[in-house]
Amino acid sequence: MNPQPGGPSSPEEFPMPPKPAQWFMLLSLFVRPSLGLMIVQLHRMWVMPAFLTLAMLSIASCSNTVSVFKLYYPIVNEIVTTVANDLAPITIADGRIDWRDADKPYSKEICGWQIDFGTVCDEARLHSVSALHGVCVTTDSIDVWFKDFPEQGKFRIEHLWKERQIRKLGDALAKKGENGFDRDSFISLGKMSSVLATPLICIAMFLRYFWVILLCQIIFCVTTAFMRRDSAYTFGDLVVLSISLSMIPTLVSLVWHAAAPPSWSFDNIYFAAFVIYMLYAFHDAKRGMVANAGNDERP
């Protein structure tokens, strides 16, 4: 028998529930994820969770950048001061870098960094170096190297400056009537470079955390689409749900990392929190479905 208008299965019997307040939706995401996500799906209330997630990501990025700066600024200051005392003046002209006693190789470990002037980054030589990272400066190049897997003898060498960049710096100095750096100006350059690199570090951290969140959102969309293939979820529903699902793990990661910085990084904490919260949301939804089925069976 076909349902009549106004019957139990007509749309008029089940109208769209009113849009709740933002605080109620946010609170539901904490205590009843299935209810909160249903509200987000029905009313497309994803803007506030997305805004709060990005705000917390910005706070985490800035906080970690400050920690990195406090850790590495004294190291950079010690390195540039030692190098300036030993090798200044350092001149740059015609695409070449020259320093005091440039005909003699300079090698010194400073604050765990191996600093070499006049020596090419050669893996055969780096095997005998105890430091895990360092800088190699020659007359026409500046390279930085890292031992990614010291026990396996694997190195990573990054070419920071080549002859073209060195020539450009020399031309810029020549326009100012200078040809290099004396002791004091070299130390000032090192300190200024550390400060100017801080915003870049912050942006890099933000993009790293954002990528982890995006990866987890993709995992959620794929998992939900696979586990609930018979559901009426559209692509837009999955995107909205995944955005809202990211807020609580971000908050947990931020608070945990700020209260007692563990050995885990922020993104590792987030990934674990996201998996746990996603499982909790699935369990909460399943529990609600079982409860509703029990109510329907009652006479």
Tally of domains in the chain:
2
Residue 232: what pLDDT? 62
- Are 206 and 175 part of one and the same domain? no
The span from the CA of 265 to the CA of 261, in Å, is 8
- Computed over every residue of the chain, the mean pLDDT equals 77
pLDDT over 90, % of the chain: 2
The span from the CA of 69 to the CA of 292, in Å, is 54
- Are 113 and 165 part of one and the same domain? yes
Which residue range is the domain that position 50 belongs to? 26-64+202-283
Answer yes or no: is pLDDT of 9 > 80. Answer: no
Residue 284 contacts residue 34 (beta carbons within 8 Å): yes
**Mean pLDDT across the stretch 34-57?**
78
Beta strands in the chain (DSSP E): 90-93, 96-98, 106-110, 113-117, 133-138, 141-149, 154-161, 180-181
In a domain, 3, yes or no: no
- Are 96 and 177 part of one and the same domain? yes
In a domain, 103, yes or no: yes
* pLDDT per position as a tens digit, 130-148: 888 888 888 888 888 887 6
Indicate the pLDDT class of residue 262, thresholds 50, 70 and 90.
low
The span from the CA of 102 to the CA of 84, in Å, is 14
* pLDDT per position as a tens digit, 94-106: 778 888 877 788 8
Residue 294: what pLDDT? 47
In a domain, 263, yes or no: yes
The span from the CA of 156 to the CA of 39, in Å, is 49
